[in-house]
Amino acid sequence: MDRPALAVLVLALASRELLAQAPPAPDPSVLQHEAERLYQAKDWAGAARAYETLLKEAPGNPSFRYRLGVSLLGTNKPGDALVALAPASQAPPPVGGLVLFGMARAQARLGEKERAFEALQKATAAGFGQVSLLEGEADLSPLREDPRFAEVVAAADRAARPCAHRAEARAFDFWLGDWEVTFNGAVAGTSHVERMLGECVVYENWTGASGYSGKSFNLYDAARGRWQQTWVDSVGGLQEYHGEARDGNLYFLGEGIRPGAKEPVRTRMTFFPLGPDEVRQLIEQSRDDGKTWSVTFDGLYRRKR
């Protein structure tokens, strides 16, 4: 063997030996767990190093970039935080909104007020709705006296609670409250109606005087442009209705089979607000595919005092 070939062989053997002695590469899942631990402990310097290492393997991960940006802000490096965050500014919700929020923090700390507002506006347009973060973040203090900040907070609230701001979704608000319900002059039961799930669902809890009870879940389905009600009761009944708000009233139409019945019954149900403290609920049913209708319930809701 000639000398150059021998030298190559020696180098190869030496490299193999060094590789064998080198410590194994860290398990990414273990490193991610450690980065999370450091981040939650607010060990910002340690978290920044950990997320920098993770980003070497996954440079396109927007969550890692957001965590790195926050960690760099924690070490008072807003310029470096901007550099870390910027590549993820187009990430899909919800991370994209958080990244833009982080960029606004860094820009506000650097005194770049206009860019900070631009980032916040983009964040809310991307669905960022964490009002408490906007109102509580110290980095944004220089922006709060500007009228645009109130607009940003309002936009975030609309993103977080779209139903609270959608006029169509408030058409059933006249039914909210605690009611005593009468039918043919006698007490038929009581009803508690409230908003829940980000004010998107109008929830009714009905307790009948005879022991029968039920619950309804009412939602304005923005995708279909209509109201939807699902009714379930204490005898295993289920009714699905859809309808619309019109002329100040709410009109539902549905079909279902009560336990023990053989054929589905078509039902139409109308809610008429009669003032701030009274609502009429009219329920009619048809067993001939809508040719004829009979009244099954004509109840008057009176608000409890």
Q: Are 204 and 227 in contact (CB under 8 A)?
A: no
Confidence of residue 18 (pLDDT cuts 50, 70, 90): very low
Q: For residue 300, what is the enclosing H or E element? A: strand 294-303
Confidence of residue 11 (pLDDT cuts 50, 70, 90): very low
Q: For residue 266, what is the enclosing H or E element? A: strand 265-275
Backbone angles phi, psi at 289, to 5 degrees: 60, 35
Backbone angles phi, psi at 2, to 5 degrees: -75, 165
Q: Which CATH class is domain 15-160?
A: mainly alpha
Q: Mean pLDDT over all residues of the chain?
A: 90
Among 167-176, 261-270, 281-290, name the most confident range. 167-176
Is 26 a residue whose pLDDT tops 60?
Answer: no
**pLDDT tens digits, one per residue of 98-143:** 999 999 999 999 999 999 999 999 999 999 999 999 999 999 999 9
* CATH topology match: 15-160 vs 168-303: no
How do strand 213-221 and strand 238-246 relate by DSSP bridges?
unpaired
HSE of 36, CA atoms in CB hemisphere, 13 A = 7
> From its phi and psi, is residue 189 left (phi > 0), alpha (psi between -120 and 50) or beta?
left
**pLDDT tens digits, one per residue of 246-269:** 999 999 999 866 656 667 789 999
pLDDT given at position 9: 44
* 3-state secondary structure string across 84-107: HHHHHCCCCCCHHHHHHHHHHHHH
pTM, to two decimals: 0.71
Backbone angles phi, psi at 38, to 5 degrees: -65, -40
CATH: 3.40.630.30, 2.40.50.100, 2.40.128.20, 2.60.40.1180. Which one for 168-303?
A: 2.40.128.20
Domain map (residue ranges) of the chain: 15-160, 168-303
Q: How far apart are the first and last CA of the chain?
A: 105
